[in-house]
Amino acid sequence: MSWSKWIGALMAVSVLGVISASAAPGPQEEGDGYVRHDERDWEDEARYSLGLAIGWTSLDNPGQAEDVETYGTINFRIGFQDQRKPGGWRGHLEAELGYWESAAGTAGQGSQLLGKSDLLLGLNIVGVAPFSAGEVFLGAGVGVHFIDLDVRSFLADGAVDQSVTTEVVGVNAQFGVDLRISRRASVFGVGRADILDDRGNSLDAKFYIGLRFRLGGKRPDHWSPDGD
């Protein structure tokens, strides 16, 4: 998978999301009565969200220097609590897709690593706590890493290239912050650690930033400050 395609897709969806968020109607006035929309708008619209991000992953390779590769991810959250209740932590179920790839590595005895990639399909449970400018969240989850290795083997009669794909189970823990930029969009940053069982429970650290778009929901009924 080409990184130019990853970045192009993330930019295209992000631009469309910002345009959609900017087009959302704001507070209105109706006749002599004042129509107000407050924090309850945000709570009602936070049940579903789509996040797109790009960042870095630091790979823990035993016996070698750490490699840092570009990492891209997409996630979709579904709140499983009543999002309209003010304050307190809320639970979300998060499905995620992540990807990174590396170039050729150093040659070993009888072989050389031509390239490596990791496609992650994961499911996380995330706790979200709102504050005035956004949200903080903590999460943990499990996923399957589809690791593809391109290897060149040196034989007596020449070199042979082959691709080997393995499926590896991993777990993760993460922490992040969302900062609102509009009614339906926010910018977020995440730091996380992934433990994979393919290299003796090695630890991969990740950091990424991106945009989150809130989907669905509806505005609360119009109300007047005098009648609330």
> Domain extents for the chain?
3-227
Count of all residues that appear for the chain in the document: 228
Rounded Cα–Cα distance for residues 221 and 2 (Å): 47
Rounded Cα–Cα distance for residues 26 and 38 (Å): 11
Q: What SS3 state is found at 104?
A: coil
Model pLDDT for residues 77-117, shown as the tens digit of each residue: 998 866 555 667 889 999 999 999 887 666 556 666 678 88
Rounded Cα–Cα distance for residues 195 and 203 (Å): 5
pLDDT for residue 208 is more than 90: yes
Q: What are the residues facing 125 on neighbouring strands?
A: 93, 140
Highest mean pLDDT among 31-45, 170-184, 201-215: 170-184
Q: Higher model confidence: residue 226 or residue 172?
A: 172
Q: How confident is the model at residue 150 (pLDDT cuts 50, 70, 90)?
A: confident
Q: How far is CA 52 from CA 6, 159, 199, in A?
A: 11, 40, 28
The predicted model scores a pTM of 0.70
- Token reading at 197: 């069982």
Q: What count of other Cβ atoms lies within 10 Å of the Cβ of residue 42? A: 20
Whether domain 3-227 has CATH 2.40.160.20: yes
